[in-house]
Amino acid sequence: MKINKIIVSFISALAILLSTSVVSFAKVVGDKIVLGAAISLTGKYSSNGVHTQNGYNLAVERINSMGGVKVGGKTYKFDIIYYDDESNPKRAAQLAERLISQDGVEFMLGPYSSGLTKAIAPVTEKYGVPMVEANGASRSLFTKGYKYLFAVLAPANLYLDVAIDLAVEKNNGKPVRIAQAFEQDAFSQDVRLGILEAAKRTKSEIIIDDKLPKELNDMAATLVKVKQMKPDVLVVSGHTKGALTAIRQIAEMKVDVPMLAMTHCDAAKLSKQHGKNSQYALCASQWHKSLTYKDKFFGTGMKYAADFEKKFKYDPPYQSAESSAALLVFKDAFERANSFDKKKVRDALAATNMQTFYGNIKFAPGGQNVDKPMVLFQVMCDDSGKCENKVVAPTKWASAKLIHPIPSWSKR
Amino acid sequence: MDFMVFQYPMITIQACLDGILLGVLFALIAYGMALQWGVMNIINIAQGDLVILGGYIAYFMYLYGIHPAWGVIVSPFIMYFVGVGIYKLVINKVVDRDLFISILATFGISILFMQLMNFAFGADVVLANSGYGTTFLFDNNVVLPNSKIFSAVVSIIFAICLVIYMKKSKLGRAIRATAQNARAAKILGVDTEKVYAATFGINAALCGVAGALISITFTIHPYMGLPYTIRSFMIVIVAGLGNLPGVAMSGMGLGVFEEFADYLLGTEFRIGSVFLLLVLILVYRRFKLSRKREYLK
């Protein structure tokens, strides 16, 4: 009996030892470079989590089929270990820990959302694991002095400040009166900071400054104030529910405002859910398929969109495009570093200067991408009620002319 | 603090009307809660999640090209059976137990429902467009979306129907008898098990109506149930069990309170102010009760 017990415990100890020693070499196994990612496949971020995963997968497939990554004269293929973080920051941090210390991953891809990226970044930093993330735009990520965090997207404070500049330009360079309503999460508050800076720069006045709760589904009070005070611009940022609620209530309450600027329009599928009511809304976007950036893997944005649609049966939101770009950045960095040493790869990442279908990528010392401006598109509908997003700013990429001011509801 | 709501009389009127229309809807949900609380002595934490599930039924009808207003008829029908199902699976095992156990059980159901809805319908915020226009009052200074008026009217109709049903029908009388004294009702031949199942079903059906209305007026999302639970809990606490006019009044009162809190303190404190009010009322009640107890001593 006793001997039996000893044998069992010996075998299980051996098994544990073996399993850990096998996986601890998992960063590069055979001809595979193994990347790790904790992604929200369930929970409140699951739809955007899936967009992120689809973006990663498409890029892995494309890079592998086009020759993979060449390091030290040998060709490697990408592989990703995914875990579901359940949209929960604590879980995401645990999973990052597990990916690195148990699965032996030495290169990470980011999760979805600023909040989760914030939870993971201290872990990757502690282990010195380079992480290229594509879905955490909060400015606070880039002010903490992280050395191993690289974001292919523009920081959140640049999302909507272009809209204020645009409004001032349309007002013949004179300051404008701004009404704003922001959710109280890290991302939206960063967007707000951007607006405050733009207001200061253009000497514009903020006449309504409302905060939205995370369980928002009624913002009538803000809109009544807007009706009464008649600002020149209304800025709303509260993820998809903010965008949907704003459009629904603006249409129902017939609120007339010359310019309406928002975030998360394409994630909210505004034009699909609201049709013509969403017309003329200005939306901040990291990427739009009509932009003319190019690379040799995906070609242009249009081609990327077509390939994506063919595989996943829906139009790619920018969350997918930026996620695909993250893989292109990793490939480029590995080849330039010509090594799998974490430190060398990190330095190569820091020196990235490339163009992808998603935009130019060049990292500031804080890790944010400084070489890619945000674009603003406007929802435009034809008479049959079919709506499309057209880029209107910056002028370099514009595919349509901004409609300003928004026609009043009585004339629609 | 922003006192705009008192500076412009039109905004005051707007806030009051918005609040009343919203409050009627809350009252409907609260009425369901009061009913099953009174009959079964169960505080249903999953109330809000039943509401959201009802909303998804209307939303799916809308997706398939049926006008979401029909959800007001279809959703309670389906939700009734969902309610009976939940009763048979879980609630009948906790119905005679401690209140604490029923709270835990319904809390579990609430979490399960949230995750299941998230799994089945996705985490996107959705809504159903009714295409009802807008009513303008006072020279266009007060705007009321017709969808809000529609939801208030439908809520009132359902509440009236339910009151008549409880008074006139056999099942209604059985429910009331069970609420008064379950044991006596049982002795007199009332099948209390059946009554309980029906009560939970009716509660779920009311949640279904409210959910359909919410998908037409506001937005729905798998994780948005809790605020509705809290609101109905609070309305019932204020009004007391089995007091329908009280539920209606305190529902509307809560709606107006929320709107004013929204203007005065900001939208971010809207739900927070409801929680605060709940705490204040509970403390006040306790205070009053303890005074009464001392007096009795």
User: Structural domains in chain B?
Assistant: 4-296 (1.10.3470)
Specify whether A130 is located in the same domain as A172. no
Would residue A2 count as lying in a domain?
no
Residue-level pLDDT at A260: 92
pLDDT of residue A25: 46
Report pLDDT for A18: 52
Residue A3 maps to a domain: no
Provide the shortest C-alpha distance from residue A262 to chain B (in Å): 16
Q: Does one domain contain both A207 and A319?
A: no
Instruction: Say what the pLDDT of residue B130 is.
Output: 80
The answer to the question of residue A63 being in a domain is yes
Min distance B99 CA to chain A CA atoms (Å):
28
Q: How many domains does chain A have?
A: 2
DSSP state letter for A112: S
Asked whether residue A344 falls in the same domain as residue A381, the answer is no
> What tens digit of pLDDT does each residue of B196-241 get?
999 999 999 999 999 999 999 888 888 888 889 988 888 888 887 7
User: Distance between CA atoms of A262 and A243, rounded to whole angstroms?
Assistant: 7
- The CATH number given to whatever domain includes residue A384 is 3.40.50.2300
Q: What is the pLDDT of residues A242-293, one digit of tens each?
A: 888 888 889 888 888 999 999 888 777 777 777 788 888 888 888 888 888 8
Q: Is the peptide bond before A130 cis (omega within 30 degrees of 0)?
A: no
Domain ranges, residue A142: 10-153+291-362
**Chain B residues with beta carbon closer than 8 angstroms to that of A275:** 129
C-alpha closest to that of A150 among A114, A110, A116, A188:
A110
Phi, psi of A299, deg, nearest 5? 75, -130
Shared-domain flag, residues A380 and A357: no
For residues A97 and A186, state if they share a domain: no
CA distance A124 to A106: 9
Same domain, A73 and A180: no
Sole residue written with tokens 């890290």 = A186
Rounded distance between C-alpha atoms, residue A121 and residue A113, angstroms: 12
- Paired tokens of A20: 């850990």
**ipTM higher than 0.85?**
no
Measured between CB atoms, does A219 come within 8 Å of chain B?
yes
Is a pLDDT exceeding 60 seen at residue B290? yes
Q: Do B129 and A274 touch (CB under 8 A)?
A: yes
In a domain, A69, yes or no: yes
A228 touches chain B (CB under 8 A): yes
Angle separating helix axes B71-86 and B47-63, nearest 10 degrees: 140
Q: Are residues A124 and A164 in the same domain?
A: no
How far apart are the CA of B81 and the nearest CA of chain A, in angstroms? 27
Contact between B123 and A45 using a beta-carbon 8 Å cutoff: yes
Q: Judge if A280 and A149 occupy the same domain.
A: no
pLDDT at res. A2 = 66
Which pLDDT tens digit goes with each residue over B152-163? 999 999 989 988
From first to last of its 412 residues, chain A has per-residue pLDDT tens of 567 777 767 666 666 555 544 444 447 777 888 999 999 988 778 888 899 999 999 999 999 998 889 888 889 999 999 999 988 899 999 999 999 998 889 999 999 988 899 999 999 999 999 999 999 888 888 888 899 999 998 888 888 888 888 888 888 888 999 999 998 888 888 889 889 988 898 888 899 888 888 777 788 888 888 888 889 999 998 888 888 888 888 988 888 899 999 988 877 777 777 778 888 888 888 888 888 888 888 999 899 999 999 999 888 888 899 999 999 999 999 999 988 888 899 999 999 999 999 989 999 888 888 888 888 888 888 887 788 888 888 877 788 888 888 888 887 7
Asked if B115 lies within 8 A of A42 by C-beta distance, the reply is yes
A324 in a domain, yes or no?
A: yes
What is the pTM for the complete model shown? 0.80
- Rounded CA-CA distance B234/A143 in Å is 43
A278 and A380 fall within a common domain = yes
Count of beta carbons in the 10 Å neighbourhood of residue A93? 19
Q: Are residue A185 and residue A145 in the same domain, yes or no? A: no
Whether residues A119 and A168 share a domain: the answer is no
Within-domain flag for A49: yes
Question: Is A238 among the domain residues?
Answer: yes
The confidence score (pLDDT) of residue A15 equals 61
Indicate if A145 and A168 belong to the same structural domain.
no
Q: Is residue A219 part of a domain?
A: yes
Per-residue model confidence (pLDDT) at position A279: 85
Task: Look at A210 and B263 and tell me if their CB atoms are within 8 Å.
Answer: no
- The answer to whether B22 contacts A275, with C-beta atoms less than 8 Å apart, is no
Look at A216 and B262 and tell me if their CB atoms are within 8 Å: no
**Contact yes or no for A212 and B268 at CB 8 A:** yes
Interface of A with B in 311-340 (CB under 8 A): none
pLDDT surpassing 50 at residue B73: yes
| Among A residues 350-369, those touching chain B with beta carbons less than 8 Å apart | none
Query: Which of A350-354, B136-140, B143-147 has the largest mean confidence?
Result: A350-354
State percent of chain B over pLDDT 90: 27
A316: cis peptide before it, omega within 30°?
no
Residue A51 in contact with partner chain B when CB distance is under 8 A: no
Tokens of B195: 């009554």
Binary contact (A221, B224; C-beta < 8 A): no
Amino acid identity of residue B207, one-letter, is C
CA-nearest of A159, A151, A155 to A134 is A151
Best of A241, A264, A276, A319 to disrupt the B interface (most B CBs within 10 Å) is: A241
What value does the mean pLDDT of chain B take?
Answer: 86
Q: Is A189 on the interface with B (CB under 8 A)?
A: no
